[in-house]
């Protein structure tokens, strides 16, 4: 539904501590019969919560309108509010700073997009006779203070219950201290409907323990590293303050806040003396633990509850197997997605960063697209990518939306040029969506950005067709890189960048062919071949050794199809050798991690792939699990074996990038992969490995739910497959011919 606003963007005459309330009384017009329907359209410069007739509008919706590249896209919400309309009522909004005006990024910036909060809203009431009454934001609105006296996404929120006055939502309320509003100049061309889901409260998590730290502080453990906030109902002396500090981990028994860097992640609740209910909805925190100060009386596990907040996505994929550590790793991946899909796919949800880092989603998109239906969520983000890329002459910013193109005072400082993998998100994310959902129109929509990126990188190549110039993140966070230098990878930057570009060209060529863009297909196909030859000529020796001879370079060369068969086999053998020589501990950073298991399992080294996956010693996927992790960590060793936090300057405990391995688990252990984009035909090819006695996976595809389950039996492996009607599954098991299955339940002895 698209809506043309006739209303104006308004701003309160007083800022009211950055959390103003705005209201307008609405009286139904007479003479037109009953109300047939009513709809509300709204957006804000800042974040808003809407109220009509004293009740919240939007089912548990928070932090709307989220964060988009506001310079070009501001999304508005549309609601059916027919049931909330009464004869005489109040339309009200509570605003907060949000991403628009709060702190953003690690440069210490705030007010990146503007100085004044704004509200644009329009209520359209349609009567029985067809008459439409429109109430829009204009200078007749009133603005006043809320109980919120400070709010920031990074730093937290302060609520002073003594200031709470709910009468603002009642018609005819006397409102001392309220002021008027003024209109803001605003280009309505920027307005666009929501493509992705809104952010909502999703779940309430109960505390599991209250304890006292060695230094005497009161700590509450929610048992799960999550994203959202803590809410409570409490009574105590008027004016006394409860302070809640959040952190993901404890370090030596105390709240581990160093990883938050400058984010204060602190909420304060000032008591009124009566029974107060506090819920800080204008911030969010990444935390498992809170430290509580000033609680009146005894604090128990029932005193506080954690509210989990993220984009409202449908869960589609599941995985379970006989190994508990692996199951916990998978749960951690799911929670990593939940915590970082708060309107924008972010790197992390807790420190002074929380940005849409492109490289992180480039590697995680296939995993995300299995676990949840992220077609619209990432489709929306890709629209921001288009807008940012167009404004940056074809370069892909490090982060999208991109506040890093401004300095602290908001002045433009230009873009860094596109690095590999991060920039390749322009092609890899749409490709992951195409594989998962098979939506040709979406691929077509994203093709111009894919092609523009491929052409831009061409201009960065050396004369010998290698991408060995310019700034690169490379194989970021290689486990051997020192804590204070995550760039220092074993893999050569040119090898990583050229390989990633080759993959991008292969994707863009295939997309062009699919879309019937023959000219583009010829252009990119020729370039792909040239870049592939350059890679082999310069980086691969006759014996199959790839320059820098480490796990990542073999993973990329094998999986991206850069090697002819004979060298591919040799590269697989060398990779298996390197993995064994490293005692099956992982040796890859952001670039190699999503591909290393595929490289092994596709070159005859399934056993080595399982050994790498199931290795519990640091660095490995399971090491964090053995340390009690409930989300995927940014570093292989965000927490060191002795329980101290990694000394590096960036140490998040909730980063999904290294969780990209779940994609391999889904396809290779669970055995569900698309044989055609969108799973019109599904490949069922689980490859049971040593160490597992059973596994199961399921996926809600566009064509229905497909599920697989295998179990080791004395005589071999028994495989059960559920195929939805109308879908074909091809079962491919070692030593057997392919079996084609139609809809129904099937059991196969392998």
List active site positions: 353, 634
Q: What is the DSSP letter of 729?
A: E
Whose tokens are 């581990």? That residue is 256
Q: Is 655 or 666 the residue whose CB approaches ligand BGC more closely?
A: 655
Q: How far, in Å, CA of 446 to CA of 282, rounded?
A: 33
| Residues 655-680 as b or e (16 or more Cβ within 10 Å = b) | bbbbbbbbbbbbbbbbbbbbeebbbe
Q: How far, in Å, CA of 273 to CA of 237, rounded?
A: 5
Window 302-361: residues binding ligand BGC (CB under 6 A): 347-348, 353, 357, 359-360
State the minimum distance, in angstroms, from the CB of residue 652 to ligand BGC: 6
Q: Is 108 or 239 the residue whose CB approaches ligand BGC more closely?
A: 108
State the minimum distance, in angstroms, from the CB of residue 689 to ligand BGC: 30
Window 631-670: residues binding ligand BGC (CB under 6 A): 650, 655, 657
Number of Cα atoms under 13 Å in the Cβ half of residue 660? 24
State the minimum distance, in angstroms, from the CB of residue 351 to ligand BGC: 8
State the minimum distance, in angstroms, from the CB of residue 357 to ligand BGC: 4
3-state secondary structure of 215: coil
Q: Are 221 and 234 in contact (CB under 8 A)?
A: no
Q: Are 560 and 428 in contact (CB under 8 A)?
A: no
Consecutive H or E run containing 747: strand 744-749
State the minimum distance, in angstroms, from the CB of residue 440 to ligand BGC: 30
Q: Is 271 or 650 the residue whose CB approaches ligand BGC more closely?
A: 650
State the minimum distance, in angstroms, from the CB of residue 473 to ligand BGC: 4
Any contact of residue 428 with ligand BGC (CB under 6 A)? no
Window 117-156: residues binding ligand BGC (CB under 6 A): none
How many residues make up the chain in this entry? 750
Q: Are 636 and 658 in contact (CB under 8 A)?
A: yes
State the minimum distance, in angstroms, from the CB of residue 547 to ligand BGC: 22
Of 349, 219, 232, 348, residue with least CA distance to 284: 349
Token code pair at residue 430: 């749409």
Please select the residue that binds ligand BGC; options are 447, 476, 501, 621, rule is CB under 6 A. 476
Token code pair at residue 327: 């199951």
State the minimum distance, in angstroms, from the CB of residue 173 to ligand BGC: 46
- Which residue spans within 129-217 are E strands per DSSP? 132-136, 142-144, 148-152, 156-160, 181-183, 191-193, 199-206, 209-212
Q: Is 634 or 663 the residue whose CB approaches ligand BGC more closely?
A: 634
Size of site (CB under 6 A) for ligand BGC? 11
Q: Is 269 or 357 the residue whose CB approaches ligand BGC more closely?
A: 357
Of 40, 115, 132, residue with least CA distance to 78: 40
H-type alpha helices, 627-689: 662-664
State the minimum distance, in angstroms, from the CB of residue 267 to ligand BGC: 24
State the minimum distance, in angstroms, from the CB of residue 633 to ligand BGC: 11
Q: How far, in Å, CA of 255 to CA of 504, rounded?
A: 43
Neighbours of 285 (CB within 10 A): 31
Number of Cα atoms under 13 Å in the Cβ half of residue 296? 18
Q: Give 746's strand partners.
A: 721
Window 351-380: residues binding ligand BGC (CB under 6 A): 353, 357, 359-360
Q: Is 236 or 479 the residue whose CB approaches ligand BGC more closely?
A: 479
State the minimum distance, in angstroms, from the CB of residue 347 to ligand BGC: 4
Q: Are 431 and 663 in contact (CB under 8 A)?
A: no
Assign 3-state DSSP to the chain and report helix, strand, coil percentages, each to 5. Answer: 30, 30, 45
Of 22, 48, 26, residue with least CA distance to 182: 22
Q: Is 239 or 482 the residue whose CB approaches ligand BGC more closely?
A: 482
State the minimum distance, in angstroms, from the CB of residue 489 to ligand BGC: 11
Contacts of residue 167, defined as CB under 8 A and 6 or more positions apart, other chains included, come to 173, 174, 175
Q: Is 158 or 358 the residue whose CB approaches ligand BGC more closely?
A: 358
- Which residue spans within 605-703 are E strands per DSSP? 672-674, 681-684, 694-701
Strands 250-251 and 317-321: unpaired
Q: Is 22 or 657 the residue whose CB approaches ligand BGC more closely?
A: 657
Q: Is 234 or 650 the residue whose CB approaches ligand BGC more closely?
A: 650
Which residue is nearest to ligand BGC, using beta carbons? Answer: 347
Of 583, 556, 588, residue with least CA distance to 572: 556
Strands 156-160 and 148-152: antiparallel
Please select the residue that binds ligand BGC; options are 99, 194, 372, 473, rule is CB under 6 A. 473
Q: Is 258 or 445 the residue whose CB approaches ligand BGC more closely?
A: 258
φ/ψ (deg, to 5) at 388 = -70, -40
Which strands form 694-701's sheet, in the order they lie side by side? 317-321, 694-701, 704-713, 716-723, 744-749
Q: Is 228 or 359 the residue whose CB approaches ligand BGC more closely?
A: 359
Q: Which residues bind ligand BGC (CB under 6 A)?
A: 347-348, 353, 357, 359-360, 473, 476, 650, 655, 657
């Amino acid at each position: 539904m698209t809506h043309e606003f006739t209303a104006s963007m308004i701003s309160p005459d007083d800022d009211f501590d950055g959390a103003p309330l705005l209201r307008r009384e609405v009286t139904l017009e007479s003479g037109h019969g009953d109300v047939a329907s009513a709809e509300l359209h709204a957006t804000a410069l800042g974040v808003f919560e809407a109220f009509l007739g004293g009740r919240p509008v939007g089912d548990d919706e928070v932090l709307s309108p989220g964060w988009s590249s506001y310079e070009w896209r501001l999304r508005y919400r549309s609601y059916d509010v027919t049931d909330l309309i009464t004869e005489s009522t109040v339309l009200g909004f509570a605003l907060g700073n949000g991403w628009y005006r709060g702190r953003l990024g690690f440069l210490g910036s705030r007010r990146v997009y503007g100085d004044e909060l704004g509200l644009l809203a329009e209520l359209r009431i349609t009567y029985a006779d067809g008459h439409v009454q429109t109430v829009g934001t204009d200078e007749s609105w009133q603005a006043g203070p809320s109980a919120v006296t400070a709010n920031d996404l990074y730093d937290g929120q302060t609520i002073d219950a003594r200031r709470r006055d709910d009468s603002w939502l009642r018609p005819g309320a006397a409102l001392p201290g309220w002021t008027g509003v003024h209109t803001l100049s605003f280009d309505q061309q920027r307005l666009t409907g929501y493509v992705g889901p809104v952010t909502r409260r999703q779940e309430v998590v109960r505390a599991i323990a209250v304890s006292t730290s060695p230094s005497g502080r009161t700590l509450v453990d929610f048992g799960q590293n999550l994203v959202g906030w803590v809410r409570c109902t409490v009574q105590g002396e008027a004016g006394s303050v409860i302070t809640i500090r959040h952190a993901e981990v404890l370090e030596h028994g105390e709240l581990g806040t160093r990883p938050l860097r400058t984010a204060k992640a602190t909420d304060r609740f000032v008591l009124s003396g009566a029974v107060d209910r506090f819920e800080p909805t204008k911030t969010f925190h990444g935390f498992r633990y809170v430290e509580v100060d000033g609680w009146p009386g005894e604090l128990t596990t029932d005193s506080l509850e954690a509210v989990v907040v993220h984009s409202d996505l449908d869960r589609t994929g599941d995985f379970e197997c006989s190994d508990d550590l692996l199951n916990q790793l998978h749960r951690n991946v799911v929670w990593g997605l939940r915590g970082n899909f708060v309107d924008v796919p972010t790197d992390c949800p807790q420190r002074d960063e929380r940005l849409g880092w492109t490289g992180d989603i480039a590697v995680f998109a296939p995993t995300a697209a299995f676990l949840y239906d992220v077609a619209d969520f990432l489709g929306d983000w890709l629209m921001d990518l288009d807008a940012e890329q167009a404004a940056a002459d074809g370069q892909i910013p490090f982060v999208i939306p991109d506040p890093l193109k401004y300095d602290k005072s908001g002045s433009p400082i230009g873009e860094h040029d596109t690095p590999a993998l991060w920039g390749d998100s322009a092609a890899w994310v749409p490709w992951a969506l195409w594989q998962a959902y098979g939506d040709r129109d979406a691929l077509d929509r994203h093709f111009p950005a894919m092609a523009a990126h491929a052409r831009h990188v061409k201009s960065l190549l050396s004369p010998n067709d290698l991408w060995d110039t310019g700034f690169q993140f490379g194989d970021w966070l290689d486990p051997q890189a020192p804590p204070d230098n995550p760039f220092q990878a074993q893999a050569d930057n040119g090898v990583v960048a050229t390989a990633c570009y080759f993959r991008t060209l292969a994707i863009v060529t295939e997309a062009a062919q699919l879309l019937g863009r023959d000219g583009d297909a010829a252009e990119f196909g020729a370039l792909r071949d040239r870049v592939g030859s350059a890679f082999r000529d310069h980086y691969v020796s006759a014996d199959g050794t790839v320059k820098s001879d480490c796990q990542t370079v073999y993973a990329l060369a094998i999986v991206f199809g850069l090697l002819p068969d004979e060298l591919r086999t040799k590269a697989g053998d060398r990779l298996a050798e390197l993995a064994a020589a490293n005692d099956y501990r992982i040796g890859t950073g952001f670039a190699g991690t999503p591909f290393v298991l595929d490289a092994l399992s596709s070159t005859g080294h399934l056993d080595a792939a399982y050994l790498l996956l199931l290795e519990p010693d640091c660095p490995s996927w399971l090491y964090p699990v053995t340390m009690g992790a409930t989300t995927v960590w940014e570093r292989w060793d965000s927490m060191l074996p002795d329980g101290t936090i990694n000394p590096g300057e960036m140490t998040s405990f909730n980063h999904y990038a290294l969780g990209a391995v779940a994609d391999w688990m889904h396809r290779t252990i669970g055995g569900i992969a698309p044989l055609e984009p969108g799973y019109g035909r599904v490949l069922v090819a689980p490859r049971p490995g040593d160490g597992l006695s059973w596994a199961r996976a399921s996926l809600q595809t566009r064509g229905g739910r497909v599920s697989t389950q295998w179990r080791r039996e004395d005589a071999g492996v028994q495989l059960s497959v559920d195929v939805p009607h109308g879908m074909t599954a091809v079962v491919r098991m070692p030593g057997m011919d392919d079996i084609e299955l139609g809809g129904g339940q099937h059991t196969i002895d392998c």
